[in-house]
């Protein structure tokens, strides 16, 4: 076998093993968090609206990481949270942090989609935040693996 072919084969094997390991970890941690009623350490979400364009487009898949401390959320972070807005109550929303307010009840986050003209109507409590975006898979929802995430 040629050295270049062998190197490519090794790299592909390492990538596939790494991906497989990650997917097993993801499934186990997600199921454990679900059983305990907690937020999983990592989660995939499919974007279905254009509110974050051009940063995140419809059909992109994002990977979020749970945030354990509200003080680590900074201006400009992209967070996914459970909406408390009357129109979209209970639905996960992914928007950018525009401002942070220190209230007697704790930190509140003012968010907005990148393509929205105004901030979201309701501020977001830390308890509503599912996580911070750490990775984006452009057009990932068009692949069978993410079609139901």
pLDDT (mean) for 121-129 = 94
Structural domain for 14, as ranges:
1-38
Q: Categorise residue 22: left if φ over 0, alpha if ψ from -120 to 50, beta otherwise.
A: alpha
Three-state DSSP at 57 gives coil
1, pLDDT greater than 70 = no
Q: How does pLDDT run across 38-95, given as a tens digit for each residue?
A: 778 888 899 999 999 999 999 999 999 999 999 999 999 999 999 988 888 889 999 9
Confidence at residue 27, expressed as pLDDT on a 0 to 100 scale: 74
DSSP-derived letter for residue 88 is T
Instruction: Give yes or no: residues 53 and 113 share one domain.
Output: yes
Instruction: Give yes or no: residues 103 and 31 share one domain.
Output: no
pTM of the model as a whole: 0.79
Number of domains in the chain: 2
Instruction: Give yes or no: residues 14 and 48 share one domain.
Output: no
Q: How does pLDDT run across 132-145, given as a tens digit for each residue?
A: 999 999 988 887 65
Percent of the chain clearing pLDDT 90 (strictly above): 54
- In sequence order, the 6+-apart residues with CB closer than 8 A to the CB of 4 are none
């Amino acid at each position: 076998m040629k050295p270049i072919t062998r190197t490519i084969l090794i790299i592909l094997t390492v990538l596939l093993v790494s991906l497989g390991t990650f997917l097993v970890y993801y499934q186990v941690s997600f199921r454990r968090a679900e059983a305990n009623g907690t937020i999983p350490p990592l989660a995939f979400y499919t974007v279905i609206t254009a509110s974050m364009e051009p940063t995140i487009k419809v059909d992109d898949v994002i990977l979020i990481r749970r945030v354990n401390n509200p003080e680590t959320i900074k201006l400009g972070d992209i967070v996914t949270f459970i909406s408390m807005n009357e129109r979209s109550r209970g639905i996960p929303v992914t928007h950018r942090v525009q401002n942070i307010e220190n209230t007697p009840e704790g930190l509140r986050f003012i968010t907005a989609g990148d393509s929205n003209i105004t901030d979201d109507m309701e501020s977001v409590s830390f308890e509503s935040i599912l996580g911070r975006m750490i990775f984006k898979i452009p057009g990932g929802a068009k692949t069978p693996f993410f079609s139901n995430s």
